[in-house]
Structure 1
Amino acid sequence: MDRTTSRRSLLAAALSAPLAATALTACGGSSGPGQAAEGGASIWYLTGDPKESIRDAYVEAFNESSEGDLAHTAFENDAYKSKIRTAVGANQAPTIIYGWGGGGMRDFARAGQIEDLTDWLAENPEVKDRLLASTWPAATVDGRIYAMPNETVQPIVLFYNKRLFEQVGAQPPQTWDDLMALTGTFNAAGIAPISLAGQSRWTTMMWLEFLFDRVGGPEVFQAIYDGEPEAWSNPDALKALTMAQDLVRADGFVTGFNSVVADQNADQALLYTDKAAMMLHGTWTYGSMKADGGDFVTGGHLGYMNFPTVAGGKGDPTDSVGNPAQYFYLSSSATDEQKELAKKFFAEGLMTDEAVTAFITDAGEVPVVKGVEDQLGQAADPEWMEFVYGTVSDAAYFGQSWDQALSPTAAEELLTNIEQLFQLSITPEEFAANMNAVLEA
């Protein structure tokens, strides 16, 4: 599946998988699974329609219009994470590598395993200028660009159940104080204020990401990304950690949230079956709620908004967090001929007009290309699509989710400590000390 819930879930399993041959499901390209024709290039990406079919289509269209043969292979999500690390480490990577930018890409870049695209993009400014500015920071390491953003933007937003808000006579929260007050309102009515799949851990992380931004602004985020000493002990970070525990103590989340799993969409079901009033989640959940929630979406009962403001906070109210894009890297082990074909693909084969239309109409997601406002009207849910596009294009800052921005080792330690923080088994100060130790390791 190419759903981000699947992509993020089982991160620990992906990290602990042995770097050896892995059993997986793959669909081969024109030259067989992962094998390019002699002198040709190859590309690996993920299974899961509708996006897999869109990827197949734009690669095949490029092959038909190009002299080269770009062999394409699709892998299931969790198998791919292990497979690609094995292949890159053994200098057997495909020419073009599918990834998520951030920490995993940074490891590849600093090991010299993927190509620096900065100078090539400077020579071809039209390639970079087509894409949303918010997509490029997660493609950048030490001021150099190592990836091509592509596909769709996926910010995290606050969903809410309009039926339940009407039932208790409340309005959606505009501030953190509003949100805290609503915990009492909904609990008094026998309704869980917030749905949360706590067992999945990365869903809980979303709350901290927004609190860190709203309290401390992008500087706190960037210090963590950059691995600055004591970054997690910043007073604003400690305040955000404390606010998160305040929400837990106020019974803000559904009873038993630590046993709810995102992969089964149980958190979404709590929202659309009127068991919970709100849910902080990625925009990728909109489609599954529409498919599974009866008339919840189609009947106009789903509301959505950006995260509330925090009084006295340093973060811009337009700031967002989530997935700025998906990314393609160019393997350093490729031949010069293969690298040239890959760059031609980056310039001509990615985010074509046909692909942009397909991402909007078939995938129901907002593409990473500028100036698509008029095309969003072709979507089945234009109001939703315009909201997502506006959230990203208007954001003063768009932070990449921590479990992608940090190194795999740091991300796993982060998720463990987040789980303990929300279980109230460690203090904010202990959380900060544990994470600072990871930065120093």
Structure 2
Amino acid sequence: MEHNTTSRRSFLTLAGLAPLAVWGLTACGTSGPGGTSGGAGSASMWSLTGAPGETIRKSSIDAYNKANADEQIKLTFFQNDAFKTKIKTAIGAGEAPTMIYGWGGGGLKTYAEAGQVIDLSDWLAENPKVKDRLFPSAFGAATVDGKVYALPNETVAPIIFFYNKELFDKAGAQPPKTWDELMTLVKTFNDLGIAPISLGGQSRWTSMMWLEFLFDRVGGPEVFNDVFAAKENAWSNPAAIEALTKIQDLVSANGFIKGFSSITADSNADQALLYTGKAAMMLHGAWTYGGMKSDGANFVQDGKLGWFDFPTVDGGKGDPKNTVGNPGQYMSISAKASEEEQASAKKYFAEGMLTADEVSAWIASGAVPIVTGIEDQLAATEDKDFLGYVYTTAKDAPNFQQSWDQALSPTAAEALLNNIDQLFTKSITPEQFAKNMNATLGK
């Protein structure tokens, strides 16, 4: 599932505070209408319009083409909706562009199982420098049955637990390190007449973030990995039931602001509740930082915004450093491309993708590229504390769980969001949720 691009799939730029363009939503590909056409040694790429991503990608391709006169990459831009339709049609017709862009996860799994993209595992093993400079955590969503079918690239956006420092000072509270501490804070803030947690529950995917973290903290990555692998009754794992139960405990304790199920994330109303002091905490994507900086009347600039790691669960198996969200964007190579085109694509992967200039451009836009060793560059920005936290969180995560509605098939993802909505409104039990979702396994 995809959502409002300015609120979900990207940072808002910290310098100009304009929305950072979202790249391939299901898969992004190569050049112009007609797929992989081009001379020997040529390759093609499609990408999305919109600043600053369009400018960054064009500059990257122009620089590569200037240095490789005999191996040109043909670049064509499409608007978001047109691209999504066209790339699916092209892949289905066997006329995919040389390089297929996307979000990994469920879409990539479909392509890999249909033999539509090539296995990059051996090539990466033979070219370790290509893989070693990227965040290890970004490769999970690029991997199907232990084989890598896409190269992670561009930027990272984990889910962050934000809090209002002024409200915490008023309550004499510290950020919670455990689930029990979080539940105690719920009572503390409710007693003060302050909503403990902001949530744009009408959008559903915002509620999903809570389950993504809780499944991990209770049972570790294996719980959702079994779902992704369509293991029978995977949603009924005892750890899953415990996580689902904890969510309803939080709802019952009035952990979320009153009326959360009618609040939308796309309007940024949930962010406003945090920076206006109506709610003390908010679990949301790193991309919301820019929005709060732009709209929060110096809330961010005055140091009133804080952040912390998602709490641990007593007896839980998940590593406290594990995170969830968007581990990167992904580029595959079409299995229908010629050997020469595939070779050109691999050369671009090795030499033209995330160059020093491209990395600098992403950082200037307010994003964190998935490249190691950029600490000094991030430290030179005015948002060094937050960007440094995002960088460290993503780089050091033993497991970076991709957003579930990207990891699953569209059919399963829509069922998931519907059941999450019912879980949070307590119209179904954890056991009913599990039963409903077990019926979607493998679909």
TM-score normalised by structure 2 residue count: 0.90
Deviation (angstroms), 1:79:
4.1
> Which residues of 2 match residues 345-360 of structure 1 at below 5 A?
345-360=348-363
Q: Is the 8 A contact 1:41 1:68 kept in 2?
A: yes
- SS of equivalent residue, structure 2 residue 439: helix
Deviation (angstroms), 1:378:
2.3
Residue of structure 1 in register with 2:380 after alignment: 378
- Counterpart residue type for residue 293 of structure 2: K
> Do structure 1's residue 229 and structure 2's residue 232 form an aligned pair?
yes
Residue of structure 2 in register with 1:41 after alignment: 43
Residue of structure 2 in register with 1:128 after alignment: 131
Cα deviation 1:248-277 (Å, max 9, x = unaligned) = 111111222112222221211111121111
Residue of structure 2 in register with 1:94 after alignment: 97
Residue of structure 2 in register with 1:105 after alignment: 108
Q: Is the 8 A contact 1:320 1:395 kept in 2?
A: yes
Residue of structure 2 in register with 1:71 after alignment: 74
Q: Distance in 2 between matches of 1:34 and 1:306?
A: 47
Q: Give the counterpart of 1:403 among 371, 384, 405.
A: 405
> Which residues of 2 match residues 288-327 of structure 1 at below 5 A?
288-327=291-330
The 3 A distance-change label for structure 1 pair 232 and 3 is same
- Counterpart residue type for residue 431 of structure 1: F
> Which residues of 2 match residues 179-328 of structure 1 at below 5 A?
179-328=182-331
Cα deviation 1:342-397 (Å, max 9, x = unaligned) = 1111111101011111111x221221112222222222311111111111223232
The 3 A distance-change label for structure 1 pair 423 and 147 is same
Cα deviation 1:98-156 (Å, max 9, x = unaligned) = 20111110001111111211122122221111111111121111111110100112111
Q: Distance in 1 between matches of 2:376 and 2:393?
A: 16
Q: Distance in 1 between matches of 2:35 and 2:94?
A: 14
Q: Distance in 1 between matches of 2:189 and 2:296?
A: 21
- SS of equivalent residue, structure 1 residue 329: strand
Residue of structure 1 in register with 2:162 after alignment: 159
Deviation (angstroms), 1:32:
6.2
Q: Is the 8 A contact 1:33 1:72 kept in 2?
A: no
> Do structure 1's residue 393 and structure 2's residue 395 form an aligned pair?
yes
- Counterpart residue type for residue 43 of structure 1: M
Q: Distance in 2 between matches of 1:169 and 1:184?
A: 13
Residue of structure 1 in register with 2:17 after alignment: none
Q: Distance in 1 between matches of 2:350 and 2:51?
A: 24
Deviation (angstroms), 1:182:
1.7
The sequence identity of aligned pairs, in percent, is: 61
The 3 A distance-change label for structure 1 pair 78 and 274 is farther
- Counterpart residue type for residue 300 of structure 1: G
Q: Distance in 1 between matches of 2:352 and 2:234?
A: 40
Q: Distance in 2 between matches of 1:324 and 1:191?
A: 33
Deviation (angstroms), 1:36:
7.5
- Identify which range, 79-88 or 303-312, moves more after superposition: 79-88
Q: Is the 8 A contact 1:97 1:330 kept in 2?
A: yes
Q: Is the 8 A contact 1:191 1:277 kept in 2?
A: yes
- Counterpart residue type for residue 169 of structure 1: G
Q: Is the 8 A contact 2:32 2:45 kept in 1?
A: no
Q: Is the 8 A contact 2:321 2:397 kept in 1?
A: yes
Residue of structure 1 in register with 2:425 after alignment: 423
Q: Distance in 1 between matches of 2:34 and 2:387?
A: 35
Residue of structure 1 in register with 2:63 after alignment: 61
Q: Is the 8 A contact 2:241 2:434 kept in 1?
A: yes
Q: Distance in 2 between matches of 1:246 and 1:429?
A: 14
Q: Is the 8 A contact 1:376 1:386 kept in 2?
A: yes
Q: Which runs of 4+ in 1 moved over 6 A?
A: 31-37
The 3 A distance-change label for structure 1 pair 160 and 416 is same
Gap runs ≥5 in structure 2: 11-29
- SS of equivalent residue, structure 1 residue 194: strand
The 3 A distance-change label for structure 1 pair 276 and 33 is farther
Q: Give the counterpart of 1:147 among 147, 150, 156.
A: 150
Q: Distance in 1 between matches of 2:50 and 2:261?
A: 28
Q: Is the 8 A contact 1:36 1:69 kept in 2?
A: no
Q: Distance in 2 between matches of 1:341 and 1:208?
A: 41
Q: Distance in 2 between matches of 1:289 and 1:47?
A: 25
- Counterpart residue type for residue 285 of structure 1: T
Q: Distance in 2 between matches of 1:261 and 1:73?
A: 34
Q: Is the 8 A contact 2:32 2:44 kept in 1?
A: no
The 3 A distance-change label for structure 1 pair 34 and 199 is farther
Q: Aligned-residue CA RMSD in angstroms?
A: 2.1
> Do structure 1's residue 50 and structure 2's residue 67 form an aligned pair?
no
Residue of structure 1 in register with 2:23 after alignment: none
Residue of structure 2 in register with 1:433 after alignment: 435
- SS of equivalent residue, structure 1 residue 64: helix
- Counterpart residue type for residue 323 of structure 1: N
Q: Is the 8 A contact 1:102 1:400 kept in 2?
A: yes
The 3 A distance-change label for structure 1 pair 150 and 6 is closer
TM-score normalised by structure 1 residue count: 0.90
Q: Is the 8 A contact 1:37 1:71 kept in 2?
A: no
Deviation (angstroms), 1:82:
3.0
Residue of structure 1 in register with 2:24 after alignment: none
- Identify which range, 418-427 or 372-381, moves more after superposition: 372-381
Q: Is the 8 A contact 1:45 1:74 kept in 2?
A: yes
